[in-house]
Amino acid sequence: MFEFAFMQRALGAALLIGLVGGVLGFFVVLRRLAFLGVGISHAALGGVAIGVLLGVSPLVCGGAAGLAVALLVARSSQSGLIAEDTAIGVFFSGTLALGIALASARPGAQQDLFGYLFGNVLAIAPAELALLALLALGVLAALAFCFEPLLFASFDPEIADAYGVPVAGLHALLLALIAATAVIGMRVVGVLLVEAMLVIPAATAALWSLHYRSQLGLAAALGVASTAGGLVLGYHFDVAPGAGAVLLACAAFALSFAVRGRRRA
């Protein structure tokens, strides 16, 4: 199946979102930001719609919209006027409605958005793969550079703040990285399912280990295995690769939950 160039590009993109989603998902699960991942990924739809209508790269526009919403959520929650989950609900709904409105304003635009809503990993162009690789490298580099203070702030933000760790800045950075990861996942699993790759592999890894290093490694491995397995399922059984990846991740979580629950019993 990998004799074809488009399948090679699809595999590259699948491995990227599996790796980045697993590593970043460690912090998403640790900080209980699963709903935030949903909001940011859906918010990118408005930017995608703008890109489709203007003939500009939908990935770039979607990433810009997701980043803008992430920073607005961080700013609004830090102001103390509204809670973070309320800010997520407001901005998520607004940008999603914007995407729907823009898509309905031009005949045929809805069809162009389907590949971003549900993923179309087999249609990734070489330029898109290069952009996704740059984004993935940037996300991993940022996590590596800020790993220790981010880990400290994730476990105990109050003590980290007392030690001079820029907790608010690190939180905004994490939101920006979630937005970048949402862009990577758009073409692989789609806007509707990209949050799953930020949560399920990391949640499965947390069932097996309490140590952060082993959790990180296992989450990354599960993410890569799920996305690559979803691509194989799509090729042999004619199902959507993104949906197959999420189903495999869910199956791994369900099996892990059952085994760990039986052992504790």
The CATH number fitting domain 5-258, selected from 3.10.20.600, 2.40.10.10, 1.10.3470.10, 3.40.50.970: 1.10.3470.10
Domain ranges within the chain, ordered by starting residue: 5-258
The pLDDT tens digits of the residues spanning 157-215 come to 999 999 999 998 998 899 889 988 988 888 888 887 888 999 999 999 999 988 889 99
Please tell me the pTM assigned to this model: 0.90
Any idea which of 65-79, 216-230, 250-264 has the lowest mean pLDDT? 65-79
Instruction: Write down the pLDDT at residue 109.
Output: 66
Contact 178, 36 (CB under 8 A): yes
The pLDDT tens digits of the residues spanning 87-121 come to 877 887 888 788 778 777 777 666 667 778 888 88
pLDDT at 10 > cutoff 90: yes
Contacts for 53 with CB less than 8 Å, ≥ 6 apart: 102, 105, 106, 109
Q: How confident is the model at residue 263 (pLDDT cuts 50, 70, 90)?
A: low
